[in-house]
């Protein structure tokens, strides 16, 4: 292990991300967008033969067999850990009862937010080049929802306890399950191996995992907790105990991420469910601030890495640019419309502003869209041209929708009249 | 990157370390010793062809050209980050003025703790096999002090503000500089290239770095801080600001680690100095608890990795076992005597109990002794037999001395009369 090179890379990236975030916030923009933008700059900065990536020992690899360098793999690992701990901390602030209370709305938001973008993406590419495999994968990439991005906005705005946030988070979990099903079907069709029974199996596994986690949070954890608290009630809680509890929470977080991963769900969905398992005790155990600190070390790598996927070189291709613009507009419109209509169907009491929050909250495709496009490229079912378009779509929806979400939140909850602030300050 | 395999490894190791630590603490032993012992078990557990390491995708590599696997490199990275953040948090609780007030004692402890073990180790191996290169490297390995181990004991016992702790920490910094000089000389002599001017250069660089950090902590940081506080005093400090400050602190921590590494000092010495830079504001910025949380994620990998270096197979060799016992006893005795005598010379007011704390605190060789032995083995200046002995010495001194240190602390500061507890509770 070349620790020296890793240290140089870590320091450089953390400093650049910090500056970009601070500059964007100075101008009233979201810090995470600054980090994504600086990621684009880092990946594309070249002066003659000199590249910043080369300087930092980062080789991102490619689908043509180019292997990523160790330093890039560490960025990927930190990015993944960052978003896992971010979703874990969102889970820690989400009680099962609150999530269940928005269950119907969340389900309809997820379903509508899957169907409409998929149909639109599929139809567009069918018209564009008539290749069904291309069309299927673009549809699947447009289905993705990056709850990581939205979660960060919600967390920064201290809106985790708002009803709209709970609907978005719940819908994102369901969306991930549906997205996995769509992807499994698409891969099955593209590789012309049926695999329908396989799709049914993983869907059932995923559903069982989600429901079992919720049931455990409601009925099993309180019993275990009660048992240990009774045993330990005569011992004073020291800072040692507090660290010990944090390590226990880390085990739950990574353990649930692992289970989700094994089933075929995104690891972050597991992390979220793991957090929810401890939500009733998180405040008492002072977990939020501690997990937040771990997240802070890693999370910039996540946003940087999203930006780093953009190859500005592909923008010299007029077709890619034109198609990207169409796909981006379609991706935003279909997800926004699908989700806000779903929200209206699921909960008549939601105001127009609330539906708008939910619509924008589901738009960012972020890393999930990128992963699906990469699977399509690697399996040969997607062209490199359409891959570039899908990356543009995933990053652009994130950059465009996050500020809209923030603005929609501010409009619906003006700071001075914000009913959710009191409990959080 | 095989994230799945990394996740399985992380969960397994964190769970095993947690259990081992809890079991040892249950029996009144130090948790970190449990983690080192479970590290030995993990590295040596084999049933027929099945090994736990193989199961976890860990290949540790060897000096004969065997490459470590990615999973093992991640253990090494986490171990290094863990001890870096641990020393950073020790730095955060160490004010320059407090360190300077024990400067004379710390210097004498370090100097005596370098000379006596080196002479003893050198003489022993000269008598044993007459090979001067072997003797030089064993002497250098016996000079090492693993402040990481001692720091953890001190931190767990909440004794960072005790005078003895400040002397140990100060002596460890000086010890690392002296150790680096010794190692440079030994490598120079072993490779029969003079390099004396090089030794002088890096010694001066190291001294300048340490003194400049202290000067910056005393005079530069307060000015910068005052400037920014004045600008921000009308803004309320939100949790966002608090995270932003943590990221700033992380930059200082990793940046100083990098500088130390560039100079040739251990990265952890840089991390400690970086922490000291912010010590006056750490409490106000609530940094301790946040850095402690980051440390908690990583630090078990550090103790596990120390244990994992032990190859129980080498214990079938009677010569290795016999020589190990002699070297271990000599390593403990010479460091203990050297440092407690140094303490007496440097500060006449220290009680016998205090000198005993300082003596035991400097005994653990931990990862530093292992690194020096590995350099010797890789450069061909040390035999594999003596390498095994040096590893045994490094691990055994750690396992034996840490509980002695804890006991010496408890004896000198009985819990009920502890004057340092009040300010910390």
Residues 6+ apart with CB under 8 A from B401: B332, B360, B361, B363, B364
Q: Is B74 part of the contact surface with chain A (CB cutoff 8 Å)?
A: yes
Contact B168, B154 (CB under 8 A): yes
A232 and chain B: CB distance < 8 Å anywhere?
A: no
How far A11 CA lies from chain B's nearest CA (Å)?
6
Buried b / exposed e along A198-216 (16+ C-beta atoms within 10 A):
ebeebbeebeebbeebbeb
**d(Cα B200, Cα B294) in Å, to the nearest integer?**
37
Tokens at B253, concatenated: 């921590």
For chain A positions 77-136, those within 8 Å of chain B (CB to CB) are: 77, 80
- Burial of A355 by CB count in 10 Å (0-12 exposed, 13-18 middle, 19+ buried)? buried
CB B291 within 8 A of CB B280: no
The answer to whether B76 contacts A243, with C-beta atoms less than 8 Å apart, is: no
Residue B210: which residues within 8 A CB-CB, separation 6 or more? Answer: B173, B177, B269, B273
CB A120 within 8 A of CB A330: yes
Tens digit of pLDDT for each residue in A290-327? 999 999 999 999 999 999 998 888 888 898 999 999 99
| Partner residue facing B11 (CB), from A156, A258, A294 | A258
Arithmetic mean of pLDDT, A69-96? 93
According to DSSP, residue B46 is labeled E
pLDDT one-digit tens code per residue, A339-375:
999 999 999 999 999 999 999 999 999 888 888 888 8
Which residues of chain B have a pLDDT value below 70?
Answer: 63-65, 191-197, 231-240, 416-425
In angstroms, the first-to-last Cα distance of chain A is 44
Is residue A8 within 8 Å of A54, Cβ to Cβ?
Answer: no
Provide, as residue numbers in chain B, all residues whose Cβ is less than 8 Å from the Cβ of A290: 289-290, 293, 296
Cβ contacts below 8 Å, chain A against chain B, sum to 116
Task: Give the pair of three-digit tokens for residue B25.
Answer: 């603490």
Residue found by looking up tokens 């390498």 in the block:
B387
Question: Which residue does chain B place closest to A68, by CA atoms?
Answer: B1
Q: A271 with A256: CB under 8 angstroms?
A: yes
Question: What is the pLDDT, as a whole number, of residue B425?
Answer: 33
- Degrees, nearest 5: CA angle B203-B204-B205: 90
| Residue in chain A nearest B16 by alpha carbon | A251
Q: How high is the mean pLDDT of chain A?
A: 88
**What pLDDT is recorded for position A372?**
87
* Tokens encoding B149: 């181990």
A289 part of contact set with chain B, CB < 8 Å? yes
* DSSP secondary structure code for residue A315 in this structure: G
Eight-state DSSP code of residue A316: G
Under an 8 A CB cutoff, do B4 and A294 touch? no
Largest CA distance in chain B: 71
pLDDT of residue A167: 95
| Percent over 90 (pLDDT), chain A | 56
CA B203 to chain centroid: 20
Q: What is the pLDDT of residue B67?
A: 86
**b/e for A256-279, b at 16 or more Cβ within 10 A?**
bbbbbbebbbbbbbbbbbbbbbbb
Tell whether the torsion through CA atoms of A223, A224, A230 and A236 is positive or negative. negative
DSSP sequence for B210-257: HHHHHHIIIIIHHHHHHHHHHHHTTS---HHHHHHHHHHHHHHHHHHH
Contacting A residues, span 53-72, partner chain B, CB-CB under 8 Å: 68, 70
- CA dist B331 and B118 (Å) reads 9
User: Hey, what are B302's tokens?
Assistant: 């550090």
Residue B325's pLDDT is 96
B264 close to A (CB below 8 A): no
pLDDT computed for residue A421 by the predictor:
44
Least CA distance to B287: which residue of chain A?
A293
**Distances from the Cα of B425 to the Cα of A45, B157, B316, B419, angstroms:** 51, 12, 49, 11
Q: Could you tell me if A288 lies within 8 Å of chain B, comparing CB atoms?
A: no
Chain A residues with beta carbon closer than 8 angstroms to that of B3: 76-77, 80, 261, 267
Separation between Cα atoms, residue B15 and residue A196, nearest integer Å: 37
Rounded Cα–Cα distance for residues A418 and A412 (Å): 9
What is the pLDDT at residue A425?
33
Residue A107 neighbours by CB distance under 10 Å: 18
Question: Stretch A407-419: mean pLDDT, rounded?
Answer: 78
The alpha carbon of residue A268 and the mean position of all alpha carbons in its chain are separated, in whole angstroms, by: 8
Segment A15-45, tens digit of pLDDT? 999 999 999 988 888 889 999 999 999 999 9
Q: Are A310 and A389 in contact (CB under 8 A)?
A: no
Place of tokens 């019993």: A223
- Tokens at B36, concatenated: 């080192």
Q: Is pLDDT of A377 > 60? A: yes
Express each pLDDT in A172-228 by its tens digit: 888 888 887 888 788 777 765 555 567 778 788 888 998 999 999 999 988 888 877
Q: What is the DSSP letter of A66?
A: P
Give the torsion sign (CA, B403, B406, B409, B411): negative
Q: Residue A258: list chain B partners with CB under 8 A.
A: 4, 7-8, 11
Residue A335 phi, psi dihedral angles, 5° rounding: -70, -45
**Does A197 reach chain B within 8 Å, measured CB to CB?**
no
DSSP track, B47-101: ETTEEHHHHTT-----TTSPPPPHHHHHHHHHHHHHHHHHHHHHHHT--HHHHHH
CA-wise closest residue to B198 among B183, B216, B218, B210: B183
pLDDT recorded at residue A2: 87
Hunting for tokens 């995933």 — which residue is that? Answer: A394
CB contact under 8 A, B290 and A291: no
Per-residue confidence (pLDDT) for residue B424, from 0 to 100: 39
Determine the angle formed by the axes of helices B196-215 and B267-277, rounding to 10 degrees.
20
Angle subtended at Cα A257 by Cα A255 and Cα A261, rounded to the nearest 5 degrees:
115
Question: CA-to-CA distance for B351 and B409, rounded, in angstroms?
Answer: 12
Give CA–CA dist A35/A259, Å, rounded. 30
- Write down the residue that tokens 């994230």 correspond to: B3
Contact B294 A292 (CB under 8 A): no
Task: Return the pLDDT at A239.
Answer: 63
Q: Kindly list the residues from chain A whose CB atom is less than 8 angstroms away from the CB atom of residue B8.
A: 258
Cβ–Cβ below 8 Å for A246 and B76: no
Q: What pLDDT shows up at residue A77?
A: 96
pTM, entire model = 0.89
Do the beta carbons of residue A183 and residue A118 sit within 8 Å? no
DSSP letter at B16 equals: H
Q: How far, CA to CA in Å, does A299 sit from each of A71, A404, A412, A425, B228?
A: 16, 21, 28, 23, 25
Partner-chain residue, chosen from A240, A251, A294, that has the shortest CB–CB distance to B18: A251
Q: 3-state DSSP call for residue A68?
A: coil
A285 SS3 class: coil
Cross-chain Cβ contact A73/B4 below 8 Å? no
B positions 357-416 inside 8 Å of A (CB): none
Q: Residue B14, SS3?
A: helix
How far, in whole angstroms, is CA B239 from its chain's centroid? 33
Q: In which residue are the tokens 């080196």 written?
A: B118
Query: Reduced to 3 states, what is the DSSP secondary structure of residue A291?
Result: helix
Provide the b/e sequence for B35-57 (b: ≥16 CB within 10 Å).
Answer: bbbbbbbbbbeeeeeeebbeebb
- Please state the φ and ψ torsions of residue B4, each to the nearest 5 degrees: -60, -50
- CA dist list (Å): B5 to A261, A294, B14: 11, 21, 14
Q: Is the pLDDT of residue A417 over 60?
A: no
Helix (H, G, I), strand (E, B) or coil at A144: coil
Nearest in space to A361 (alpha carbons), one of A344, A345, A342, A339: A339
Chain A residues closer than 8 Å to B254 by CB: 7, 10-11, 14
CA nearest to A411, candidates A356, A350, A349: A356
CA torsion angle A145 A148 A153 A156 (round to 10): 160
**What was the pLDDT predicted at B238?**
61
Of A1, A8, A293, the CB nearest to B293: A293
B247 interfaces chain A, CB cutoff of 8 Å? yes
- Section A403-414 average pLDDT: 92
pLDDT in tens, A222-257: 888 887 777 666 555 566 678 889 999 999 999 999
Closest to B175 measured CA to CA, from B121, B106, B89 = B106
Side-chain-side CA neighbours of A102 within 13 Å: the count stands at: 28
Q: What share of chain B is helix, strand, coil (3-state, %, to 5)?
A: 80, 0, 20
Q: Which of A166, A99, A98, A151 shows the shortest CA–CA distance to A295?
A: A151
- Does the pLDDT at position A6 exceed 70? yes
Structure tokens at B2: 């095989």
């Amino acid at each position: 292990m070349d620790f020296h090179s890793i240290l140089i890379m870590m320091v450089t990236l953390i400093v650049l991300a910090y500056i970009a975030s601070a500059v964007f916030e100075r101008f009233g923009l979201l810090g995470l967008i600054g980090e994504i933008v600086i990621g684009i700059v880092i990946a594309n900065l070249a002066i003659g033969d000199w590249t910043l990536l080369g300087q930092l020992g980062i080789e991102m690899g490619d689908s043509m067999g180019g292997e990523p360098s160790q330093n890039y793999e560490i960025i990927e690992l930190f990015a993944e850990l960052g978003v896992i701990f971010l979703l874990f901390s969102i889970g820690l602030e989400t009680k099962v009862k609150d999530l269940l209370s928005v269950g119907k709305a969340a389900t309809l938001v997820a379903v509508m937010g899957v169907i409409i973008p998929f149909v639109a993406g599929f139809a567009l590419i069918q018209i564009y080049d008539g290749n069904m495999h291309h069309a299927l994968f673009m549809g699947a990439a447009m289905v993705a929802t990056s709850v990581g991005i939205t979660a960060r906005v919600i967390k920064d705005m201290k809106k985790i306890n708002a009803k709209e946030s709970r609907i978005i988070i719940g819908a994102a979990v369901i969306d991930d399950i549906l997205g996995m099903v769509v992807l499994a079907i698409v891969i099955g069709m593209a590789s012309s191996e049926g695999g329908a029974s396989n799709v049914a199996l993983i869907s059932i596994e995923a559903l069982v995992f989600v429901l079992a986690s919720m049931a455990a949070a409601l009925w099993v954890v309180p019993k275990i907790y009660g048992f240990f608290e009774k045993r330990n009630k005569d011992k004073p809680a020291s800072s040692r105990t507090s660290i010990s509890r944090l390590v226990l929470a880390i085990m739950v977080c990574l353990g649930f991420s692992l289970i989700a991963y094994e089933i075929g769900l995104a690891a972050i969905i597991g992390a979220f469910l793991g957090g929810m398992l401890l939500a009733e005790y998180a405040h008492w155990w002072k977990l939020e601030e501690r997990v937040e600190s771990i997240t802070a070390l890693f999370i910039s790598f996540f946003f940087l890495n999203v930006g780093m996927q953009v190859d500005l070189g592909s923008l010299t291709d007029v077709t890619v640019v034109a198609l990207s613009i169409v796909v981006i507009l379609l991706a935003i419109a279909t997800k926004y419309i699908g989700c806000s209509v779903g929200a209206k169907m699921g909960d008549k009491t939601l105001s127009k502003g609330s539906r708008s929050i939910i619509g924008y909250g589901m738009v960012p495709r972020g890393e999930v869209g990128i992963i699906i496009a990469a699977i399509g490229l690697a399996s040969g079912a997607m062209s490199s041209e359409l891959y570039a378009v899908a990356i543009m779509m995933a990053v652009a929806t994130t950059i465009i929708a996050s500020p809209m979400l923030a603005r929609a939140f501010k409009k619906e909850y003006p700071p001075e009249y914000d009913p959710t602030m009191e409990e959080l300050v």
